[in-house]
Amino acid sequence: MSEANAGRRHFLIGLGVVAAGTAAGIYVAPDLLAQSAAGKASSKPPVDFQPHAFVRISSDDSVTVIIGKSEMGQGVYTGLPMILAEELDVDPQRLKVEIAMGPEFNVPNLGIQFTGGTLSTILSYDALREVGATARSMLLSAAAARWKVDVALLRTDNGVVTDSNGARRATYGSLAEAASQLPVPEKGKVALKDRKDFRYIGKSQKRLDNTVKVTGQAIFGSDVDLPGMLVAVVARPQVFGASVRSFDPKAALAVPGVVEVKQVPSGVAVIAEHTWAALKGREALVIDWDTAGNERFSSEAHRAEARALSRKPGMVDRETGDVERALAGATATFDVEYEVPYLAHACMEPMNAVAQVTPGKCELWVGTQNHTMDTVQVAAALGIEPAAVKINTTFLGGGFGRRASSNADFSVEAAMVANGVGKPVKVFWTREDDTRAGWYRPCSINRVRGGIGADGMPVAYHHVSVSKPVLTQSPLAKFAIRKDGFDPTSTEGSSKLPYSIPNLRVEAHNTTEPVTTLFWRSVGHSTNAFIANGALDELAALAGRDPYEYRRALLADKPRHLAVLDKAATEAGWGKALPAGHFHGIALHESFASIVAEVAEVSVADGKVVVHRITCAVDCGFAINPDQVVAQMQSSIVYGLSAVLTGEITVEGGRAVQGNFHEYTILRLAETPVMDVHIVESDGPLGGIGEPGTPPVAPAVCGALYAATGKRIRRLPIPASLA
């Protein structure tokens, strides 16, 4: 192993390593596995050529791409390596992948490593291409020196360098040692491919993590099993903001298998030899909670306060023209309220983390979106240096923002539970733990006003948002939160509309309820696309116009948006005859640099809403892996539909009412509509795909319900019966 590799702190989850590591159901240090495998294959260890932290080419002809992003289903484990492979000229299916941690993987200009905001591909694209091209250039130079020919006479093809007539060939592995001796070209000095010459980017690729996930060999946080490991659960307060006043551990310690009961900042931990003992021990605990009066908080009471606040002037995000004057002179107006509830992230794998704390050090095995902040927060909690915290990143069984909590709650908790135990400890959350003591998308109460002129076109749009900010405690706060406390995520997707409206004002109020809030898939866009598109539908209705044609008229100077809107409408058959009782609704929204339009086909029978089909068109600049773009649009649609139809966390007595999937339901297979996804290529900038498909779902479905029933849906989720 090279000195560079030995110094890098990383956790290998490449296909071969994972398979070996899980064969006995025990986590084994990946570096040891790699060394063992290499020793069996050859007495001489492979020589590595690693011109950058992102790539390693070994003399055994293996090519490993190292990424600093967490794989949680969104496809970075395949998409990012594809980009580097394109310039390196290697078939992506040959690649091994490692997920690493280190300053080389920090987000540019932020100085932290994290996975979120649909930024992974956008921010990594140029760098990965540069690294791939640099490595390829150095391999060509090594071959040219070996054969004593002009490098211009050589070419590459899937990991092999050949001369002009094909008489000589050398694999990348055979050139690795020689290439490693060459100086690395300066940034920007190597030529990149023209887009028209791409062999892999833009063409669907099989996911590199398919095999290990389908066969059950992939290591998620829940799968980690270390020698001597104990398990623990934590009794957390059911009332938001409560803390432990006192507790009696006797009954819990009497449960066979319980090793220790200890108070930690998040509650009381029961540490045991196995899961059942930990759970039974927690049930036996006697805890006196200090609720700090938060048991008086309820969703209904909060709603009344927020509604009153929405009638008052707020922090102004954007103001154009004179809204009040325009509304006063409008031909027709509306003044309504839109509301969305708290929503849980509902990751299929509840939170968990394994921690081992030794004097002055801590090592974690955890699926996290927030590497740097987890390191910093764990170090602070333990009173050690961040450099003494090592994070091994596992696969994530869903993230959606939950695994990017601002205080690294589940990682810090595991470290505090394991502190002083002397053994590794896995802290796992039950589904009820995750739902009731987790973090939510903020509920939001909104006053929305609009008006049209004599020509039916919009003259004014006014939106006042009332919600709890999510960026306040985030590492992004110093870059995003204004001095007056304004959080831009509270109005994102409403203040920057693609439509030309001459008079516009968007304002926000912050609330301070004890309920913990956090990023949720598409963040503020999930709320504000519902509001902005709902307002467009209301304006169209005032004007007596078709909602699709109305949007077309307002997008005349926005060709990319118009192309996406038209594609969705055309593919859905907008304006054509539908089956009896079926109706269409349409929505368009831009988020994370991608434009998405969706048409929902819906019916209502005996008050029951059925969503039959969602037709989706997306412009993400261009698709790195088209199959993955389709998959993420479908995933986003399902996620959004769950929120539209049933998603809601309610709070009574300071406690979350919903606990498991029988109460907080998600879309079942039988309820999932047909989903048609169409990629609209453009010359626009590269956009994200992990989140933009969610925001248009709610307004498209609600637009269809208005067409079906004449009832405007302004509060989500949709009522159980529309009768």
Residues 587-624 pLDDT 10s: 999 999 999 999 999 999 999 999 999 999 999 999 99
Q: State the CB neighbour count (10 A cutoff) for residue 373.
A: 22
Q: How far apart are CA 426 and CA 417, in angstroms?
A: 9
Percentage above 70 pLDDT, the chain: 93
Secondary structure letter of residue 107 according to DSSP:
P
pLDDT tens-digit map of 295-321: 999 999 999 999 999 999 999 999 999
Condensed to tens digits (0 to 9), the pLDDT of residues 700-709 reads 999 999 999 9
- Quick check: 56 and 5 in contact, CB under 8 A? yes
pTM of the model: 0.92
Q: What percent of the chain has pLDDT over 90?
A: 89
Q: Is the pLDDT of residue 330 over 80?
A: yes
Of the candidates 414, 419, 413, which has an alpha carbon nearest to the alpha carbon of residue 361?
419
Asked whether residue 24 carries a pLDDT value surpassing 80, the answer given is no
What number is the average pLDDT over the span 140-151?
97
- 428 residue type, one letter: F
* Tens digits of residue pLDDT in 282-293: 999 999 999 999
Out of 174-183, 265-274, 476-485, 541-550, pick the least confident. Answer: 476-485
pLDDT for 537 = 98
Indicate the pLDDT class of residue 723, thresholds 50, 70 and 90.
low
Q: What is the C-alpha end-to-end distance of the chain, expressed in Å?
A: 69
CA–CA distances in Å: residue 86 to residues 128, 153, 201: 9, 20, 7
The CATH label, of 3.50.50.60, 3.30.365.10, 3.40.50.12160, 3.40.50.2300, for the domain at 3-214 is: 3.30.365.10
Sorted by where each begins, the domain ranges of the chain are 3-214, 222-292+351-428, 299-343+440-709
Residues 6+ apart with CB under 8 A from 670: none
Q: Which amino acid is located at 30 in the chain? A: P
Per-residue model confidence as pLDDT tens digits over 447-499: 999 999 999 999 999 999 999 999 986 767 777 899 999 999 999 999 999 99
Residue 655 one-letter amino acid? R
Topology of domain 299-343+440-709, CATH: Aldehyde Oxidoreductase; domain 4 (3.30.365)
Q: Are 222-292+351-428 and 299-343+440-709 equal in CATH topology?
A: yes
| Averaged confidence pLDDT in the chain | 92
Q: Which of 79-88, 316-325, 429-438, 628-637 has the lowest mean pLDDT?
A: 429-438
Whether residue 542 is predicted with pLDDT greater than 60 in this model: the reply is yes
Instruction: Give dist(CA 365, CA 224) in Å, integer.
Output: 7
Q: What pLDDT is stored for residue 346 in this prediction?
A: 97
Q: By the 8 A CB rule, do 403 and 250 touch?
A: no
Model confidence at 22, in pLDDT bands (50, 70, 90)? very low
Task: State the average pLDDT over residues 345-352.
Answer: 97
- Is residue 47 over pLDDT 50? yes
Across the range 117-140, mean pLDDT stands at 96
Give pLDDT tens digits for 363-415.
999 999 999 999 999 999 999 999 999 999 999 999 999 999 989 999 999 99
Q: How confident is the model at residue 43 (pLDDT cuts 50, 70, 90)?
A: low
- Taking residue 662's Cβ as centre, other Cβ atoms within 10 Å add up to 7
**DSSP H or E stretch at residue 629:** helix 626-645
Question: For residue 37, is pLDDT > 90?
Answer: no
The pLDDT value recorded for residue 475 is: 67
571-583 tens-digit pLDDT: 999 999 999 999 9
Q: What angle in degrees, to the nearest 10, is found between the helix axes of 626-645 and 697-709? A: 50
As a whole number, mean pLDDT of residues 513-542 equals: 97
pLDDT at position 659 is 97
Q: What is the CATH number of domain 222-292+351-428?
A: 3.30.365.10
Average the pLDDT over 68-85 and give the result.
Answer: 97
